[in-house]
């Protein structure tokens, strides 16, 4: 299937107003994996705070990065990336655009919610992931509305950045898309197109029916 045809067929499965934020990522393999997850789960945008500004400056730069193209398995060609120099700058941008900010942490931050028990159907949502070693900064936690905890029952209490983005974005993306479908939040002008999209949504939500 040609890539343009593929994009046309899955365009309505994109999660509008849903952003993944990486704070000071260090390892390109994790950044590439996060970008791949963003693309795979239909997240609208990837924001990066700090990190390697030269390679992550903007969408045009990330598209040209050979390392990111390799670590993201080509997904960097399709994911919109925006870079911020500081946590403050990113938070101000998100607040200006009326986004709910959800940070991720395995530790109690006073506003924790369980990933699988909470509803993440806010109209505009940014999910914020921390540095591989230091986690989310205190500045980001103070500014956040909620703190997402992935329930874990094993000895290890933390996950690799690439792994955690996959788990969190997969669950929230599916929940948000199902909410849009169930409560008919999408605005579709063409009735014929609406029927095709509804059928596609049904196949996505319940492929084995």
Asked if 22 and 51 touch (Cβ cutoff 8 Å), the reply is yes
Higher pLDDT, 69 or 139: 139
Owning domain of residue 153: 3-205
Cβ atoms within 10 Å, residue 38: 29
Asked if 120 and 176 touch (Cβ cutoff 8 Å), the reply is yes
Pairing of strands 43-49, 80-84: parallel
Q: What is the dihedral of CA 147, 152, 153, 157, to 10 degrees?
A: -80
Q: In angstroms, rounded to a whole number, what is the distance separating the alpha carbons of residues 81 and 120?
A: 22
Residue 209 has pLDDT above 60, yes or no: no
Q: Enter the tokens of residue 39.
A: 């693309």
Q: Enter the tokens of residue 203.
A: 């196949």
CATH number at residue 171: 3.40.1280.10
Per-residue pLDDT tens over the stretch 147-182: 999 988 777 777 889 999 999 999 999 999 888 877
Please state, in angstroms and as integers, the Cα–Cα distance from residue 138 to each residue in 78, 93, 187, following that order: 32, 18, 39
Which distant-in-sequence residues (6+ apart) come within 8 Å of 62 by Cβ?
Answer: 35, 55, 56, 68, 76, 79, 81
pLDDT of res. 193: 44
Per-residue pLDDT tens over the stretch 5-23: 555 555 666 788 999 999 9
Q: Determine the straight-line distance between the first and last CA of the chain, rounded to whole angstroms.
A: 25
pLDDT of res. 201: 55
What domain count does the chain have?
1
Q: In angstroms, rounded to a whole number, what is the distance separating the alpha carbons of residues 23 and 90?
A: 10
Helix 28-40 and helix 161-182: axis angle, to 10°?
Answer: 10
């Amino acid at each position: 299937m040609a890539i343009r045809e593929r994009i046309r067929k899955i365009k309505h499965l994109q999660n509008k107003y849903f952003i993944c934020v990486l704070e000071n990522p260090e390892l390109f393999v994790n950044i590439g994996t996060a970008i791949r997850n963003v693309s795979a789960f239909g997240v609208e945008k990837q924001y990066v705070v700090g990190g390697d500004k030269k390679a992550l400056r903007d969408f045009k730069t990330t598209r040209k990065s050979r390392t990111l193209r390799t670590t993201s398995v080509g997904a960097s060609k399709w994911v919109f990336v925006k870079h911020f120099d500081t946590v403050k700058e990113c938070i101000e941008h998100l607040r200006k655009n009326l986004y709910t900010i959800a940070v991720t942490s395995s530790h109690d931050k006073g506003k924790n919610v369980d990933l699988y028990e909470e509803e993440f159907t806010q109209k505009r949502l940014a999910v914020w992931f921390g540095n591989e070693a230091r986690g989310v900064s205190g500045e980001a936690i103070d500014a956040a509305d909620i703190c997402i905890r992935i329930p874990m029952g094993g000895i290890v209490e933390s996950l690799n950045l690439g792994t955690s983005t996959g788990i969190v974005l997969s669950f929230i993306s599916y929940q948000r898309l199902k909410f849009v479908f169930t409560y008919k939040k999408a605005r579709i002008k063409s009735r014929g197109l609406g029927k095709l999209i509804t059928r596609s949504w049904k196949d996505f939500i319940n492929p084995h029916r």
